[in-house]
Amino acid sequence: MSSSDPTVQPVPTSVVEQVDAADVTLSNPKRAVISLGSNLGNRLETLQGAIDALEDTPGLRVKAVSPVYETDPWGVEPGSQATYFNAVVLIKTTLPPSSLLERGHAIEEAFERVRDERWGPRTIDVDIVAYQDVVSDDPRLTLPHPRAHERAFVLVPWNDVDPRAEVPGRGTVAGLLAAVGKDGVRVRVDLELRLPE
């Protein structure tokens, strides 16, 4: 169609600007790091289900999945809860952080997670560990996750999938891991999570 076609209305500049802005967002996905944990029910199946649900999210692609770790429950009386399976996934997404958190909550609900006690047992926990280099102290979504830097069950699998990673404002994952140690975090080489196709 030629630009002189009299049936074509000119597109207002404001619309062109909006479409261009949306295109930039779509072609400019952001990196984020998600921690998954489960210590109730079929832990491996639930972790895989959460990964598949993340991949099924419009505007989100799972780029890497860590090995599975069996980990001692952190933050509670030793022996008071079953061990966790933990993993970390790297994603690229055009969703803003708030929508990513919402999606994480929806996945937790789909796996019938109940919230009755702090750090209580759960079928699935979906934590946003980091979103690009965003730093925010908003209690609804604190970035990076306020306890990620002290949790070996996050740092060990994160280091596997991105050995050069940094926790914004805290230092390198490798350095933090050297300080925290790997106690209570055991790789399960007999198990595997699939990267969705």
Ligand X SMILES: Nc1ncnc2c1ncn2[C@@H]1O[C@H](COP(=O)(O)OP(=O)(O)OP(=O)(O)O)[C@@H](O)[C@H]1O
Ligand Y SMILES: Nc1nc2c(c(=O)[nH]1)N=C(CO)CN2
Supply the residues annotated as catalytic: 113, 122, 125, 127
Position among 153, 161, 165, 173 found at the interface with ligand Y (CB under 6 A): 153
Site string for ligand Y, 160-179 (x = CB under 6 A): --------------------
Given the rule CB under 6 A, which of 22-30, 46-54, 67-75, 102-110 is the region that contacts ligand Y? Answer: 67-75
Which residues on neighbouring strands pair with residue 5, listed in sequence order?
none
Reported in sequence order, the residue ranges of 27-184 that DSSP labels E, i.e. its strands, are 30-38, 60-65, 69-71, 84-93, 125-131, 166-167, 171-172
127 in contact with ligand X (CB under 6 A): yes
The Cα 42–Cα 151 span in angstroms is: 23
Residue closer to ligand Y by CB (options 131, 153) is 153
Residue closer to ligand X by CB (options 11, 144) is 144
Helices (H), 111-184: 152-161, 173-180
75 in contact with ligand Y (CB under 6 A): yes
Please count the residues of this chain forming the interface with ligand X, following the rule CB under 6 A: 13
Please name which of 186, 160, 165 lies closest in space to residue 176, comparing C-alpha atoms.
Answer: 165
Residue nearest ligand Y, CB atom distance: 37
The Cα 12–Cα 7 span in angstroms is: 15
Q: Are 62 and 195 in contact (CB under 8 A)?
A: yes
Minimum CB separation from ligand Y for residue 79, in Å? 13
157 in contact with ligand Y (CB under 6 A): no
What are the residues binding ligand Y (CB under 6 A)?
Answer: 37, 71-75, 84, 86, 119, 125, 153
